[in-house]
Amino acid sequence: MASVSYWPMDPSLDTVPESDPAVEPDGFVVTVDAGDRIHFLDWGGPAERTGSYHGILLIHGLSQTARSWAPVARRLCRLTQTVAMDLRGHGLSDAPTGDDDYDTSVLGRDVVAVAEGSGLCDPAGTGGVVLAGHGFGAIVAAVGAVGLGDRCAGLVLVDGGWESMEAATGVDVDEFMRSLDEPPEVMRSMASFLADRRGFDPATWDADQQRAAEATVVETHAGHVVPATRPHALEASVRTMFGYEPVATLARVSAPVVALMAGEDDDGGRRAAVRDVSAAREREGRDAVLLTSFGRDGHNLMRYRPREVTAAILSLAAVRG
């Protein structure tokens, strides 16, 4: 079994630019083969491309939207083109209702379509892109990395994507779905909802966090809020999460992989999952996964550790040779 290799974070922090509060992304839509429209935000990049960094595609987590990546995207776009997509069923992307519309293979094709449609890479097989996914988005990013093949220059898994959901959570799909229900007092008004989200960490609450939170709910005529993610899309996405096979998928990713782990790992199960993935990758002649742990921080590392997440992405985005 492979040992856990740790990514040397501190030196890479020196490469992280300050956040640019003035930049605003443009919204675009790419239409995939089935006619479904996938929305993405293009945060742009430097006026003159130097070729020093690959382009970057960011993929949000369950029940979130592309806006959740703003603290990181505002930094990355100062160095290279940065795009954040809305997964199908989330944000401004379509929410098809077919039985197979949220399978990993379909989600992976969405990633490839956005990478090509945004200009991050082209269908001819040239141009590299770094994928970074958060939670459920890390699963989608891993599948997208397989689909991109050699056009994927790197993969960053932000607190997800390297472990079995059932093993990690200790619950089945139905119990996990029930755990997603919000207390009625949180959803009674937009003000209550935003106060709850602000309370996770008041020090990191700002206009970007408020906008990201607002994008996840819809205000009703009665003044209540309801989740913006369509119920059928949420359930289908969760079932896809629980059906994901991390070892088999990540062994097929040819690009280097960095994993960023939030929260405590008291029983060592999450690190053991990294070891299992690394061992499978090494059997295929690929590099082991590099891991960094943030034991005291919550799941949303883009909010709590934007500089460190940015540094991890840039460490893979830098063009070498």
User: In which residue are the tokens 């956005």 written?
Assistant: 114
Answer whether 114's CB lies under 8 Å from 28's CB: no
pLDDT at residue 49, rounded to an integer:
63
Q: Rounded distance, CA 168 to CA 140, Å?
A: 17
The pLDDT assigned to 126 comes to 64
pLDDT given at position 181:
94
The reported pLDDT for the residue numbered 295 is 84
pLDDT for the residue 139: 98
Q: What is the amino acid identity at position 213?
A: A
Calpha distance 120→83 (Å, rounded) = 8
pLDDT given at position 302: 98
- What pLDDT score was predicted for residue 125? 67
Which pLDDT does position 10 carry in this prediction?
A: 64
Q: Which of 238, 104, 231 is nearest to 171 (CA)?
A: 238
- Return d(Cα 214, Cα 202) in angstroms, integer: 16
Q: CB of 138 within 8 A of CB of 157? A: yes
DSSP per-residue codes, 125-139: S---EEEEEETHHHH
pLDDT along the chain (321 residues), means of 10: 70 85 97 94 84 94 98 97 98 95 97 96 81 98 97 97 93 95 97 98 97 98 96 97 98 97 92 96 96 93 96 92 63
Residue 307 burial (10 A CB sphere; 0-12, 13-18, 19+)? middle
Q: pLDDT at position 193, please?
A: 98
State if pTM tops 0.85: yes
Query: 5-180+230-317 has which CATH code?
Result: 3.40.50.1820
